Structure 1
């Protein structure tokens, strides 16, 4: 496992000044006081200006994450082909065209190291099956897929079936990007047991109880970037981050939280254990306990908008400065709902080329 080293980047002052100027120009105030909550997208805003095909954040560090780059490009439309190439020893870029129904219901598709699995346009789906990364797996990209429908009626708490959308244990260098994860049997995304150098960006977590959990360990090693994701119709773990060395959450949007009267286990972001968490310029609409922290954890929040929220808004400790590790584009919180609803989830422009 690669060890983590801090790296200070030289453009910090310039980037912060630019962000401050943009926020000032939009007239943003303190939490819940934004004057431009419905900030319009620029007419020039395009998909090309929002992302590249290269990972950012923690997944870009310590050698980076390239997935199956350099390997053979294959297109699959059935379970047998997907399972064959995903588990192979060689690197592959695996293009998923259409819906792949997984049998038996809830089964794992094992993903080995040096793989890219990408949906072709917005058509690629994995239906009632899980992408599973075993301990020691590294250098994996999962993009532009819909993974859906392994939910078992009556098992809202996910106690009888462990049917996640994506689960990984003790892995490193993984980029989860532009997927739609919905209506699964347990968690939508579980990042577990000391996984390192992870970025989760531009995904949709929808129609689910336990959306996104990080931890299942007493060690404090995980470094994770979570940006421009949309949590909608979810109840808890949005995410829950337990014992993360560094958890950087920015420009995420949480809306339409499931309201079932649960006073504790309905929440937004939770910094648990000894996690150091930084939240920046996110948007919470109608959320109970938008962000909270254990007394042993740290949570720094700046620039977010809270609309019709109730409950805990914990902030304590100094956490860390994400720009000590990497540069990033920080959008104003008022623009987040429009940006994230437009650009998260599977996109027609992704996965349509030859590689």
Structure 2
């Protein structure tokens, strides 16, 4: 009597997904290319629970790709404000404009054309084509890397070129021809709900019977961590210049560097430089130090010392500078501001 055929990786995963997977995410109904793309970009570096309200707000304001393309940058950045990694939003906006100019206002179904758009890498392109069109393309986001690394017992940081190449090959091997959309969601769900970074729920995992990390008690060591580096700390003084009408002076940041293109507060190197910088912008009488705070980026920490200048009077030259503007509460709500700056202004 022949032995029953062993279920494949994909079959086991899909069986689990049908019962335990996430089927009610807002970008799944309808699961069109624009909504899938928007969700994939938002989910980079951000968890689903955090993304959902931002996705709902964004899609309500800009329900179609042409709507995104026609929106001005301040509108896009304001809708994105709080999600962080603002370069994603700028790439999203630029890609939408290219789709209108080159692809009839739609995301192309051709992989090469899709991957050529700003901010769409190999994994995002695969996710769009698989989930929106049911095409067989592998993905390799952080969740999938973790699942593949543990299941196959692969040592070495997933960000290393050789390891990543190996993981792509495995991701492609396991991706089935049928139910590509469901499989793509399933592998992400597995990594997000069971095969999590710490304390994975291996007893509930449909893959644990063949998982090397589970078998060898390596779930705490895999994926291998990146070689440690000391996180540097930078300092800045943020100038909160507020006039008699309670308007605050904002400055649009340059096109490069952190918070590129966002409206923020003018900055200075230290408290002595802060007075000189403030005097160049407005007539001031006094200043009050606000509570300092630290904002953590992926590569460094930024220690911020806010300095409030009340009853500031603008110099006439500010009116002619497009990168400076006095903003009331309504203006601020409609602009793209870094989350810590928005929080600081809301606390005043």
TM-score by length of 2: 0.25
Which protein is richer in strand relative to its size?
Answer: 1
- TM-score normalised according to structure 1 size: 0.24
